[in-house]
Chain A
């Protein structure tokens, strides 16, 4: 049988709706944050990053919001498409040190 493993948080959204994936980070000294997308059978893929001197950054269909007061990071995906189905990881670093990854959130798209 299958071993007990990580229970990833799961977010299910309707195709065409906006998705918001949240991440609580651990270190108040963190000054750099990244969102990654991992599709089945592939490595994590860089989506967007943000530095601590900003609170919002936009890319193509994606927006990252940073709230340093509560140590919270979010990824907003506009008009979610079937190809957005994946596991999404946030990662943080401080002082140009190595990235520390979160556990991930699984995003599923309902047709």
Chain B
């Protein structure tokens, strides 16, 4: 069975550029989560969707961050403009129901120079 698929695996870009991270959840899962992981702050929930609808975006750090889920099989997390402090590993996870066991992708390692 295919797990959660994230792309790209690695992204290196200069500050000020737009960054788009992509996620394909597990088929049949109706909840999708975006996390950020850093040494300083650990694993932080940024936003989550249920049935393609954003439910809680209180973890999104600034207006520079936005996320969309146009359909049940695809979500994006966009940072515009990017800053060096956005450097982190970004994970996408999906689950069957919001409170169910979440299955994580292998993350996108983002470096903003």
User: In the assembled complex, which residues on chain B have CB atoms less than 8 Å from the CB atom of A89?
Assistant: 43
Q: Once the chains bind, are A97 and B99 in contact (CB under 8 Å)?
A: yes
User: In the assembled complex, which residues on chain B have CB atoms less than 8 Å from the CB atom of A95?
Assistant: 99
Docked pose: A96 CA to B48 CA in angstroms: 14
Interchain residue pairs with CB less than 8 A apart (10): A4-B40, A44-B91, A45-B104, A93-B99, A94-B99, A96-B100, A98-B33, A98-B48, A101-B42, A101-B45
Q: A34-B101, A43-B104 are in contact. Are A103 and B45 (CB under 8 A)?
A: no
- Write the A27-51 contact mask toward B (1 if CB under 8 angstroms, else 0): 0000010101000011111100100
The verdict on B102 contacting chain A, using a C-beta distance below 8 Å, is: yes
Interface residues of A in 86-104 (CB under 8 A from B): 89, 93-99, 101, 103-104
In the A-B complex, the 3 residue pairs with the closest CB atoms: A5-B39, A43-B104, A96-B99
Count how many pairs of residues, one from A and one from B, have CB atoms less than 8 Å apart in the complex: 58
Interface size on B, residues (CB 8 A): 24
The dominant DSSP class at the B interface is loop
Residue in contact with B42 in the complex, picked from A36, A43, A96, A103, CB distance below 8 Å:
A103
Residue in contact with A44 in the complex, picked from B38, B40, B99, B104, CB distance below 8 Å:
B104
The verdict on A60 contacting chain B, using a C-beta distance below 8 Å, is: no
